[in-house]
């Protein structure tokens, strides 16, 4: 689990995407050095997952006194102390300081549970179901100052099935995130993926739309 760029994962909750990254790195399929995991709150499962994988787990507690500026400074300092080359947002529920986003432009990724540009923000499953959408999914994108607006790299698409609920859709999309996120991180870590003047390059070619991975059709029940 070492050799590649020093990678710090930012989390707020369960950390299932973090687990997918840890698993891929652990089996040598993702050439990164996991330099640390930062949570905005104590006691979350993601911190346990980091500790179990012997990755430094750090809390930058947003509930601590110090105000917005103080927290922003602490987060930035922590990333610097961990000597992060890449920053991976995996369910991190906070807006990042603008200067930090600028500093890591082209080296910071996020996974968002919708087919961006549809449904930036929260409650994406509910919104897609209410709109009667026929498909939903997740997008890995470069982070830019505007929320959930950075250029897309790879998308996982699932058909919305009759009877789908927020929970069923979330479960299927989440499984897809676990496939596409480590893949995008591997491209970035290997220097195959870049952001130049707002344009995504994969293997030197302009990516005008994200790479699409479709959910495998469910195998028939016998
Ligand atoms: C994922 O759905 C991701 O798309 C969103 O936050 C969720 C994080 O889940 N940004 P987990 O903590 O990785 O399980």
Reported as half-sphere exposure (CB side, CA atoms, 13 A), residue 109 has a value of 32
C-alpha pair distances (Å), 205 with each of 62, 75, 83, 184: 40, 34, 29, 15
pLDDT at 66: 83
Instruction: Indicate the pTM of the whole model.
Output: 0.96
pLDDT at 218: 75
110 vs 2, more confident:
110
pLDDT at 1: 45
Give 219's pLDDT tier (boundaries 50, 70, 90). Answer: low
Task: Work out the average pLDDT over 21-40.
Answer: 97
Q: Is the CB of 136 under 6 A from ligand 1?
A: no
The atom of ligand 1 lying closest to the CA of 15 is 12
- Helix (H/G/I), strand (E/B), else coil: 137: strand
pLDDT at 182: 98
Give 221's pLDDT tier (boundaries 50, 70, 90). Answer: low
222 CA distance to ligand 1 centroid (A)?
Answer: 33
| Count of H-run helices and E-run strands, the chain | 6, 11
What's CA 34's distance to the chain center, in Å?
15
Distance CA 158, CA 175 (A): 10
Per the annotation, the verdict on 80 as an active-site residue is no
Q: What are phi and psi of 72, to 5 degrees?
A: -60, -40
The atom of ligand 1 lying closest to the CA of 112 is 4
Ligand 1 mutation target, pool 141, 177, 179, most atoms within 8 A of CB:
177
Whether residue 2 is predicted with pLDDT greater than 60 in this model: the reply is no
Ligand 1 mutation target, pool 10, 19, 113, 121, most atoms within 8 A of CB:
113
Q: Is the CB of 39 under 6 A from ligand 1?
A: no
Give 217's pLDDT tier (boundaries 50, 70, 90). Answer: confident
pLDDT in tens, 62-111: 999 888 889 999 999 999 999 999 999 999 999 999 999 999 999 999 99
Task: Work out the average pLDDT over 136-145.
Answer: 98
Q: Is the CB of 148 under 6 A from ligand 1?
A: no
pLDDT at 204: 97
The atom of ligand 1 lying closest to the CA of 17 is 13
Nearest CA to ligand 1 atom 12: 15
> Hey, how many other C-beta atoms are within 10 angstroms of the C-beta on 170?
16
> Hey, how many other C-beta atoms are within 10 angstroms of the C-beta on 132?
7
Give 3's pLDDT tier (boundaries 50, 70, 90). Answer: confident
41 CA distance to ligand 1 centroid (A)?
Answer: 15
Ligand 1 mutation target, pool 9, 11, 12, 91, most atoms within 8 A of CB:
91
> Hey, how many other C-beta atoms are within 10 angstroms of the C-beta on 125?
20
- Helix (H/G/I), strand (E/B), else coil: 21: helix
Tokens 């009759």 — which residue? 162
Inter-axis angle of helices 45-52 and 16-26, to 10 degrees?
A: 10
């Amino acid at each position: 689990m070492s050799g590649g760029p020093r990678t710090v994962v930012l989390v707020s909750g369960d950390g299932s995407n973090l687990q997918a990254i840890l698993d891929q790195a652990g089996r040598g399929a993702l050439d990164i050095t996991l330099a640390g995991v930062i949570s905005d709150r104590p006691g979350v499962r993601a911190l346990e997952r980091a500790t179990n994988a012997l990755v430094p787990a750090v809390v930058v507690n947003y509930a601590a006194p110090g105000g917005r500026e103080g927290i922003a400074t602490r987060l930035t300092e922590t990333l610097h102390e961990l000597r992060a080359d890449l920053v991976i947002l995996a369910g991190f529920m906070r807006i990042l300081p603008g200067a930090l986003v600028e500093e890591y432009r082209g080296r910071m990724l996020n996974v968002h549970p919708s087919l961006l540009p549809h449904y930036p923000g929260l409650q994406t499953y509910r919104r897609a179901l209410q709109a009667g959408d026929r498909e939903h999914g997740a997008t890995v994108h470069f982070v830019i100052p505007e929320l959930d607006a950075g250029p897309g790299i790879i998308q996982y698409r699932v058909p919305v099935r009759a009877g789908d609920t927020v929970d069923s859709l979330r479960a299927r999309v989440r499984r897809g995130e676990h496939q596409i996120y480590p893949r995008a991180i591997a491209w970035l870590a290997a220097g195959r993926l870049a952001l130049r003047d707002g344009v995504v390059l994969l293997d030197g070619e302009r990516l005008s739309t994200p790479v699409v991975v479709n959910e495998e059709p469910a195998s028939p029940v016998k």
